[in-house]
Structure formats: C-alpha cells, structure tokens
Amino acid sequence: MWCEDKLMVILMWRGVLVMKGVVGVGLILVTLILVIPSVLVVGFSNDEAGLTSYDSSEKAPSLLKGDGAGMLDEDEAVVRVFRSETETVEEVNFEDYIVGVVAREMPATYEVEALKAQALTARTYIIQMMTSGSDIQIPSGADITDTVQHQVYSNEEELLERWGEEDFEWKLARVKQAVYETSGQVITYNGSPITATYFSTSNGYTENSEDYWQSEIPYLRSVESPWDVNSPRYLGEKTIEVSVFESILGVTLSGETVGQVVNRTPGGRVALVNIGGKEFTGREIRELLDLDSTDFSLTRRGNSVIIETRGWGHGVGMSQFGADGMAKDGYTYEDIIDHYYYNVKIEEVDQVLGAMMAAESVEESDGT
C-alpha cells in the first residue's frame, strides 16, 4: 500500500487524486493524448447464435483485484455516462459500461477472442480518459458521452430494442463473456494506459499514427492485416458529379485525368495527391468527400468522378475485422493485442494505477 504517517491516498474513479495532508495534488500522467475520430462499427446482417457458457443475467465482477480492491467501494466503481438523447447522466457499473460499449462497437457475432480484444481497447480508453482527461468537452456531472466523440454506448434496454428478443439473450451473454473474462485488464506502454485506437477494416495493412495524425506514437505502427481482404467493407465505391467534386475541392478538372497520387504511406494509403494543380493529403480528401478510407483511386467517366476505396476507417491501431480473422485462425486476444499494438503489455488496472501512484510519490519526494 502507498501510505505514510502524513500521506493519505484516495482513489476517486472519476479522476485519480493524490492528497498529502490537506493539500490535493492531481496525479499527472505523462501520456500522449490524441484527438481522434471515433469509429462507428456497423454490425453485419448475417448474425448467427454463437456458443457461450455465459448467461445474459451474469453479474459484473469487481473491477479492482488484489491490493486495489479495498481502496474503491463497489458503488464508486461506476462510469457516469451522458446520454445524448435524453440529456441525462446515467451511472453504470464499470464493467457493465464496457459491455455496453463492446456491444455497440463490434458485432456480437465476432469470435469471443476478438470481442475480448475489443473489451480491452474499450476499458483502456475509459481508464486513460479518467486518469488523463479529455480534449473534448464533457457535460457537467459526466465522465464520458455515449456518442462517437468518445465511445458509443447502449444499456441493456436499448440493446434489446436494437437486437430484438430472439437475439438479445445470446448476444448479450457472448459480449458479457468477453468482458467479464478480461475484467480489469488494460493495455499499457511503459506502464501507462495507451491510446487504444481501432477501426473496422484495413486495406491489408494498418497505418503508422503519424501518417494519419500528426503525432508519432511508438505502439501505433503499421503491420500486415491480410484477413481484411475478406471483409464486406474491404472494397467501396462512390460516384460524385464532376461539378460537385470541383466545388467541394475548389479545383477545375481538365481532360479525363482526375488527379495524380504524389506518394503513399508505408501502409499503402494516399499520403499526398495532386488534383487540378492543388495538393491534398489523403486524409483531407477522405474527410472532404466522406470516403471510407484514405486508400483510394480516382477516375473520370463522363460527368462523374468514380472513387474506389480499400478498407474502412482511419487505419490506425487494431483492425476489428482483422481481429476476428485472427481469432478464427486460433489466435487469442493476447495475440491480437500484441499484433496490432507494438511492444505493449496487458496488465491489471489496479497494478497500473498503483505503479503510477508510487512513481508520483517518488517524484514528489525527489522534488522536496
């Protein structure tokens, strides 16, 4: 335990706080924080009941284990979720919040090992937010919203409406199995929770973080993801009228050539493209034209521009379809995390918080 005569350590789940005497000192977590576009994952229609030993009424296990378990009352281990439709704050048991996120962010038909990997990304995300804060404004009294700005969340009543009575029980049981069997586990790099980004489908490779965002994150490196070629979202096509295309990009097309790719990223996506004498990043084109991916090709057919894309999402971090493919090939959730996040560890959250607090205590002592 981290106590001395004049040191009282209080864990508050809505932000870790270290208090010495009567002076509160906020725990400073040195991590890279990205403002990242959240990923909305659309479930596929060919749902089939999956095997699980869990029951949909299974209760969530305690979040903290070991030394940390006595430092947090069960009623404090909650997430306060701002419900955007009702504009109210809903208090949810921590692990049940993870269930509600996984159920919305990944199809319940995916392999359980893939769902477990998704549970770790969701749990790591909220732990990082609660310890590091968020660049996105959160309504008063809430820890997080239920929108794509953070993580999409639905409670059981909403999942029943979404899935229907026929599929609700087995889908919920399957998600609960994935969440509860990984309870308290988070992904860390150098002892701190990571920015656990993920997306739907790659073009065959994931992307280095700096090739989509500005920050170079050591654990978000480009890796091969061959399973994605079988995804229904691997190939996409969009048609835009030439006049609309020119208006959106502020260019004038001449002849049959739409543009020329200047260079591509190590992950095979468009880094820079010249269109009508004007240069754009691949991300700019994706966002301006609302494309599925930054791996695209442009062709002109008469008065239309045809845009073909490969993959769906920003491409950084874990490919969800790739995770399911790995699980189908017999890989575990630990293998999946190890593949998509470079040089990370899976640790218990109480051990992570304990190490962070101990390090903070040493730094404070050294500074006196």
What is the DSSP annotation of 147-179?
STTS-----HHHHHHHH-HHHHHHHHHHHHHHH
Q: Does 258 lie in the same domain as 224?
A: no
Cα distances (angstroms) measured from residue 58 to each of 43, 173, 179, 184: 24, 8, 11, 17
Residues 106 and 247 in one domain: no
**Count of domains in the chain?**
2
221 and 306 together in one domain: no
Mean pLDDT of 297-321: 97
Query: Does 225 share its domain with 95?
Result: yes
> Does 140 lie in the same domain as 177?
yes
pTM, whole model, 2 decimals? 0.80
d(CA 319, CA 331): 14
- Does 152 reside within a domain? yes
pLDDT of residue 33: 35
Query: Do the domain assignments include residue 61?
Result: no
* pLDDT value of position 367: 60
Model confidence at 105: pLDDT above 90: yes
CB atoms within 10 A of CB 85: 8
Helix (H, G, I), strand (E, B), or coil: what is residue 343? coil
Give the pairing type, strands 17-20 and 23-26.
antiparallel
Q: Which of 11-15, 66-70, 194-198, 290-294 has the lowest mean pLDDT?
A: 11-15
> Of 293, 310, 327, at which residue does a domain stop?
310
272 vs 53 pLDDT, higher one: 272
Q: What is the pLDDT of residue 368?
A: 55
Provide the mean pLDDT of the chain.
82
Q: Is 217 helix (H, G, I), strand (E, B) or coil?
A: coil
Where b means 16+ CB within 10 Å and e means fewer, 333-342 reads bebbbbbbbe
Whether 12 is in a domain gets the answer yes
Amino acid 36: pLDDT: 41
Q: Does residue 9 surpass a pLDDT of 50?
A: no
Beta bridge partners of 81: 90, 144
Provide the residue range defining the domain that includes 292. Answer: 235-310
> What is the residue type of 41?
V
178 part of a folded domain: yes
Is 90 exceeded by the pLDDT of residue 239? Answer: yes
What is residue 291's predicted lDDT score, i.e. its pLDDT? Answer: 98
- Tell which of 310, 327, 351 closes a domain: 310
- Of 264, 290, 310, which residue sits at a domain end? 310
pLDDT tens, residue by residue, 159-218: 999 999 999 999 999 999 999 999 999 999 999 999 999 999 999 999 999 999 989 999
Task: Mark whether 183 and 279 lie in a shared domain.
Answer: no
Task: Mark residue 26 as left, alpha or beta (left: phi above 0; alpha: psi -120 to 50; beta: remaining).
Answer: beta
Residue 107 shares a structural domain with residue 210: yes
Has residue 69 got a pLDDT over 90?
A: no
**195 shares a domain with 92:** yes
d(Cα 254, Cα 262) in Å, to the nearest integer? 18
- Examine residue 283 and state whether it is found in any structural domain, yes or no: yes
Q: Is residue 63 situated within a structural domain? A: no
249 and 295 share a domain? Answer: yes
Cα(124)–Cα(101) distance, rounded to whole angstroms? 12
DSSP state of 86: T
Question: Do 287 and 180 belong together in one domain?
Answer: no
pLDDT, tens digit, 9 for 90 and up, residues 120-170: 999 999 998 888 766 678 888 888 999 888 899 999 999 999 999 999 999
Q: What is the pLDDT of residue 29?
A: 33
Please indicate, yes or no, whether residues 111 and 14 belong to a single structural domain of this protein: yes
Compute the average pLDDT of residues 43-62. 51
| Same-domain status, 139 and 277 | no
Q: Distance between CA atoms of 8 and 21, rounded to whole angstroms?
A: 7
